[in-house]
């Protein structure tokens, strides 16, 4: 695939009630805010929230699906800015900001169904 500045791509994912539990099993992150709805309510989160790294993993998967090979993702970074609730739908919008020396810098916007940015300052670098 020829990567060019200005190229765009998107991805969407709805997180079902089991996603945080599956991710907890894979990552070992069994923090009660991710698996116990009553605890999440007690601490003011309104229920269970998805692990931030699971949200970032979905953004990374959107990039690698677009790039065509997970090995092409060389770097990704973000700032976690809002919790993702169970049953939220996350949308990722990617734009190639620059291509130099065989690498593409990709800016990502990651929002929930209400338009709130759940990740900010999201940048990825992929092999072009």
Identify the segments of the chain with pLDDT beneath 50. Answer: none
Which sequence positions are flagged as catalytic? 29, 34, 49, 52
What is the model's pTM? Answer: 0.93
Whose tokens are 């973000």? That residue is 78
Strands 8-14 and 103-111: unpaired
pLDDT at position 14: 96
pLDDT at position 87: 94
pLDDT at position 124: 98
CATH architecture of residue range(s) 8-15+51-127: Roll (3.10)
pLDDT at position 2: 86
pLDDT at position 119: 98
CA distances from 119 to 21, 25, 76 (A): 21, 23, 12
């Amino acid at each position: 695939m020829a990567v060019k500045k200005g190229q765009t791509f998107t991805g969407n994912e709805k997180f079902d009630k089991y996603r945080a539990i599956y991710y907890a099993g894979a990552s070992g992150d069994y923090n009660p805010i991710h698996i116990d709805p009553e605890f999440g309510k007690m601490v003011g989160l309104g229920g269970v929230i998805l692990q931030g790294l699971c949200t970032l993993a979905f953004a990374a998967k959107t990039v690698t699906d677009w790039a065509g090979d997970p090995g092409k993702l060389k770097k990704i970074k973000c700032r976690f800015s809002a919790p993702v609730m169970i049953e939220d739908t996350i949308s990722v919008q990617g734009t190639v900001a620059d291509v130099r020396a065989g690498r593409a810098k990709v800016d990502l916007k990651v929002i929930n169904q209400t338009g709130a940015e759940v990740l900010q300052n999201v940048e990825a670098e992929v092999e072009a």
